[in-house]
Amino acid sequence: MKGIAKRHILKIVDTQKTGREDFLVVEEPLEIRLAFEKGGIRHQQGISVTMRTPGHDEELALGFLFTEGMIREASQVKNVSFAAVRWKEARENVIVVELADGHEIDFKKLERHFYTTSSCGVCGKASIEAVSVQGHYDLPENAPVFSIGILHGLPAQLLREQSVFDCTGGLHGAALFDLSGRLVLSREDIGRHNALDKLIGAAFQKGLLPLSDCLILVSGRAGFELVQKSIVAGAPCMAAVGAPSSLAVELAEEAGMTLIGFLRDGQFNVYTCPERVGG
C-alpha cells in the first residue's frame, strides 16, 4: 500500500521481547514549483517544501495553491506533473503546476516563508496579517443546519476511510460531508494541513467549490490554519475530533463559520455560530 513502509522491530510487552514486522507511515519532502510565462520567457519557481505522505500529490499542490490565494479556478491551471529531475528517486518529490497563459501571481505579496513541516504549515508566517483569510467565497447567509444526530456519527465514518491510519496509527484525516451525513471525500496524510489541502484540492478538481452546504471534519485539533483553509474553501461548518485553539475560534467567529470541537464519544462543543447545529 502506498504511504506505508515496513520495519523489523523489537516488541516488548512487560519483560517479554519479540521480533516482529511493523508498519510505518512514509514521510517524504514534496517541493511545489510554479511554471509560468513572463515577458515572453518561461519561468519555474519553487514556492514550498512540505513533509508529506506520498499520494494525491496533485491534489495537495492544488489545494495548497488555492488556499494561499494563488489560484481560484481550474482554468488558471494548464497542467500539473512531476518534474523531470535528474535523479529518479527524487522525481516524485517535485511537482510542477503550470499556470495558464495570462494568469500572473504577485510574489511580493507572499510574505510567508514557504518551508512547512508536516505538523505546522503556518509556522513560517511573517505576521498575523500574512495569514488573513485569502478566500473570496462568502459563507451562505441562509445557514445550512447540521443535525446533532448526524454529527455524532461522522468521526466513525472518517475512521473507516483511514486505511493507512488503521495500519500504522500515524496519520491525520480530513473528510467532507453533506447535510445528510453522506461522505463526499476523504484524504489522509502525516500532516494535518496536508490532509486538508489534499481534500480541498480534490474538491477543486471536481468542481465542488465553494463547499456551501458541506461540513469539513478533521481527525485532530483545529488550529488557525485549518480553520483558515476551510473558510477559503467556503465551508460554513468545520468540526474537529480534538480541541480548537483560541485564534482558530476568533477567526471562525469573524468569518461567520460554525466551529465544533471535541466531536467524539457522543458529545461535542460548539464554539461559534451555533445556529447551524439543529436537533
What tens digit of pLDDT does each residue of 202-244 get?
Answer: 999 999 999 999 999 999 999 999 999 999 999 999 999 999 9
**Whether residue 84 is found in the same domain as residue 122:** yes
The pLDDT value recorded for residue 124 is 41
**Whether residue 115 is found in the same domain as residue 152:** no
Q: Among 278, 103, 109, which residue's Cα sits nearest to residue 179? A: 278
- Band (128; pLDDT cuts 50, 70, 90): very low
Contact 31, 48 (CB under 8 A): yes
Q: Could you tell me the pTM of the whole model?
A: 0.89
Least trusted range by pLDDT, from 12-16, 85-89, 205-209, 236-240 = 85-89
Domain membership flag for residue 138: no
**Whether residue 219 is found in the same domain as residue 96:** no
**Whether residue 240 is found in the same domain as residue 175:** yes
Provide the grid cell at 44. 519555474
Cis before 274 (ω within 30): no
Residue 237 a catalytic site member: no
**Whether residue 111 is found in the same domain as residue 217:** no
Contact 82, 94 (CB under 8 A): yes
**Domains identified in the chain, total number:** 2
**Whether residue 111 is found in the same domain as residue 229:** no
Contact 228, 131 (CB under 8 A): yes
73 contacts: CB under 8 Å, gap ≥ 6: none
Q: What is the CATH number of the domain that holds 54?
A: 3.10.20.10
Catalytic residue (one of 120, 123, 214, 237):
120
Interval 119-139 mean pLDDT: 54
pLDDT tens track for 134-174: 656 778 777 799 999 999 999 999 988 877 655 666 689 99
Owning domain of residue 116: 28-128
Handedness of CA 195, 198, 199, 200 (dihedral sign): positive
- Band (39; pLDDT cuts 50, 70, 90): confident
pLDDT tens track for 250-268: 999 999 999 999 999 999 9
228 contacts: CB under 8 Å, gap ≥ 6: 67, 131, 133, 134, 251
Domain membership flag for residue 7: no
pLDDT tens track for 166-201: 566 668 999 999 999 999 999 999 999 999 999 999
Domain membership flag for residue 250: yes
- Band (127; pLDDT cuts 50, 70, 90): very low
**Whether residue 124 is found in the same domain as residue 159:** no
pLDDT tens track for 45-62: 999 999 999 999 999 999
Mutual angle of helices 192-205 and 57-67, in 10-degree steps: 90
Mean pLDDT value across the chain: 87
Domain membership flag for residue 77: yes
**Whether residue 122 is found in the same domain as residue 94:** yes
The pLDDT value recorded for residue 140 is 73
The pLDDT value recorded for residue 138 is 78
